[in-house]
Amino acid sequence: MSTLHRLFLNTALASAALLSAFAAHADRTVTDQLGRQVTLPDHVNRVVVLQHQTLNLLVQLNAQDDIVGVLSSWKKQLGPQFARFMPNITSLPMPGDLTQANLESLLALHPQVVFVANYAPAEMIQQIQNAGIPVVAISLREDAAGEKNKMNPTMANEEQAYNDGLKQGIRLIGDVVEKQKEAETLISYTFSARAKANAPVADIPQDKKVRVYMANPDLNTYGSGKYTGLMMEHAGALNVAAATVKGARQVSMEQVLQWNPQVIFVQDRYPEVVKQIETDPNWQAIDAVKNHRVWLMPEYAKAWGYPMPEALAVGELWMAKKLYPERYKNVDVDAQAQDYYQRFYRVNWKANAQ
């Protein structure tokens, strides 16, 4: 080989190595759900999650091995049984929560990105960013300008805001942790299953719908502007709080008595509320209590303020069948829950169902 050829080859190899090194450390930019441009490393495998909805979605996208820190209230927000999807969560550091972060604890974990809720304080986001850690905010809503950072925003079209926002949020999380294919599979399954689940109750007139109240602890409930109301709507029910309550807030006992719901649902994460309602004398005049229609929802029926794919795919079906069993005589909800858990949580739901 001539000296000239050798020199050319060495130069080419050096250039290739340089390009390879650059590619390995190349940055990329994503737009989070606050509309912020966030620069990330090309490859992300160290993630801190300070929002429970995002934590739930990361596990469904099979990215749990990338998580190095979680929010301190994960057990309260997701229920202690969530640990069966992610066994190492009980030993992970907890460097913050929904609205606060311990910067020293965060830095010690060397995260490449921190996921936060859209309503995390601006100063919290800025503090983390100033420390050199990219922050990605998730809302699972498509909001108008000026509403993106609110917990209870004003929405012109709730259905569109949550449908489009959930898809955007799943895709964004999938992009960050390089699980784009898994994100598309989850979206496709969720909205296809939802369409089939909703069809049997789609024609129920407004005045014939079952009147439902969502009972959270301490007389807190969800009114308009929250996914919970959409969940009821898709299941053929009427949220009694929607007309007078905006967002998530506490109401009075007098107000609940006035609404007089026919059915009361309680989220799986608040089982103590069922007993309180059934034994408290103040509730006994309500139709739902008199007729023993106070029901604890299953784990997958996440009637939260923010949507979760399993709630759309299986939870709305469970609620609809509970309210209108005659319309779902040949539908096996447990089988659909099992299929969902096997696909996206990689566990046997029936073996763990309570």
Report pLDDT digits (tens) over 274-285. Answer: 999 999 999 999
Question: 197 pLDDT band (50/70/90 cuts)?
Answer: very high
Q: Do residues 111 and 84 make contact, with C-beta atoms less than 8 angstroms apart? A: no
- In the chain, which residue ranges form alpha helices assigned H by DSSP? 3-24, 52-60, 74-78, 103-108, 122-130, 158-176, 180-198, 227-234, 253-259, 271-279, 287-290, 309-310, 316-323, 333-340, 349-352
Q: Beta strand pairing status for 100-101 and 96-97? A: antiparallel
What is the per-residue pLDDT for 124?
98
Task: State the average pLDDT for the chain.
Answer: 91
For domain 203-352, the CATH superfamily is: Nitrogenase molybdenum iron protein domain (3.40.50.1980)
What is the per-residue pLDDT for 154?
87
What is the per-residue pLDDT for 16?
45
Q: Can you tell me the mean pLDDT for 133-144? A: 96
Instruction: Give me the CATH topology for the region 24-178.
Output: Rossmann fold (3.40.50)
More confident residue, 222 or 23: 222
Two structure tokens written together for 169: 């949020």
For residue 353, pLDDT beyond 80: no
What is the per-residue pLDDT for 303?
86
Q: Can you tell me the mean pLDDT for 210-225? A: 95
Q: Can you tell me the mean pLDDT for 77-90? A: 93
- Residue ranges of the domains in the chain? 24-178, 203-352
Q: Is the pTM of this model over 0.85?
A: yes
pLDDT tens for each residue of 224-245: 988 999 999 999 999 999 999 9
What is the per-residue pLDDT for 26?
62
What is the per-residue pLDDT for 36?
97
- Count Cβ atoms below 10 Å from residue 37 Cβ, excluding itself: 8
Question: 89 pLDDT band (50/70/90 cuts)?
Answer: very high
CA distances from 74 to 50, 97, 310, 324 (A): 9, 9, 18, 33
Do the two domains 24-178 and 203-352 of this chain adopt the same fold? yes
Helix (H, G, I), strand (E, B) or coil at 134: coil
For residue 263, pLDDT beyond 60: yes
Question: 305 pLDDT band (50/70/90 cuts)?
Answer: confident
pLDDT tens for each residue of 26-64: 689 999 999 999 999 999 999 999 999 999 999 999 999
Name residue 210's beta-bridge partners: 237
What is the per-residue pLDDT for 7?
47
What is the per-residue pLDDT for 349?
82
Q: Do residues 321 and 235 make contact, with C-beta atoms less than 8 angstroms apart? A: no
Residues of the chain with pLDDT > 90, as a percent, come to 83
CA distances from 50 to 43, 92, 93 (A): 20, 13, 11
More confident residue, 13 or 269: 269
Question: 306 pLDDT band (50/70/90 cuts)?
Answer: confident
For residue 139, pLDDT beyond 50: yes
